[in-house]
Amino acid sequence: MVKEDDHMGSPVGMVLGMEGADSITTPDQLQEWYDGGLRLISLSHYGVSRYSHGTGTGTEGGLVGNAKQLLQEMDSLNMILDVSHTSDESVRQELEIFEGPVIATHQNCRAITPGERQFPDHQIKSVIERGGVIGHSMDTYMLWSKEIDWSNIPPARPFPKDEVTLDNYVDHIDYVCQLAGNSLHAAIGGDTDGQGGMIGAPYEIDTVADYQKIVQLLEQRGYQNEDIENIMYKNLGRGSLNYIYQVKLEGQNVR
């Protein structure tokens, strides 16, 4: 395991991920992508991808094409599987095949916000059981708890900002923490580069600097400093450091 303070003072970096694996035309190309820096993949985005049913296809469609081979190749390279934007059945099949680290980079809770784009409880628990992390999206349509009439809603701006607040957002974080019984599996998965940018985020969010406002809301709900640090950055950082890089621990390579 990577110690919490091992990265202190290190340069700021990023993890290169791919949202929807269509660009990987065959699994045997994955090594080339890995050599180019790719470390995290979701098999689908919207619609049916080369490997999986994604958002907008319902919940029953599963993996397609050479998905099994791609997942096995990801395993061999110690890559991370992102189960965001993936149908319920596809997620179930992915977790049966893939043995490596799992994350949902931008996903919310169906129990709070209806719709296939969110996770049902059993999938949240599946990610938790795998030691994974769920990064929560700020897209307003993923935070709304009311029945939606989509007929007159522009796709880039599902709701006025003043109708969705960060309290709605923290509801999803808290829900995952309650299911897990701890604060080790929830994280910030903003997605404020999508869905209309900041226009499609809660009204308190004008720039990413406003993410800091989440801290006070968590404090108001009784979360302690350690819990808040886990949610705000440690959970995602811990997962990235432990699984992407090989480290030495007691003379052994740990992946």
pLDDT of residue 14: 81
- Which residue has 């006070």 as its token pair? 216
pLDDT of residue 144: 77
Query: Taking the domains of the chain in order of start, what are their residue ranges?
Result: 1-98, 101-255
Q: What are the backbone dihedrals phi and psi of residue 28, each rounded to the nearest 5 degrees, phi first? A: -70, -5
DSSP annotation string for 176-189: HHHHHTSSSSEEE-
pLDDT of residue 207: 85
45, two tokens = 């985005």
CB 129 within 8 A of CB 159: no
pLDDT of residue 5: 56
Q: Where does the chain show beta strands of DSSP type E?
A: 16-19, 38-42, 80-82, 102-104, 133-136, 186-188, 247-249, 252-254
DSSP annotation string for 46-61: BSB-SSBBBBTS-SS-
Of 103, 156, 101, whose CA–CA distance to 133 is shortest? 103
pLDDT of residue 2: 43
Question: What do you get for the CA distance between the two ends of the chain, in Å?
Answer: 9
Tell me which architecture the domain covering 101-255 has in CATH. Alpha-Beta Barrel (3.20)
pLDDT of residue 13: 75
- Residues in the chain predicted with pLDDT less than 70, given as ranges, are 1-10, 146-162, 193-199, 239-255
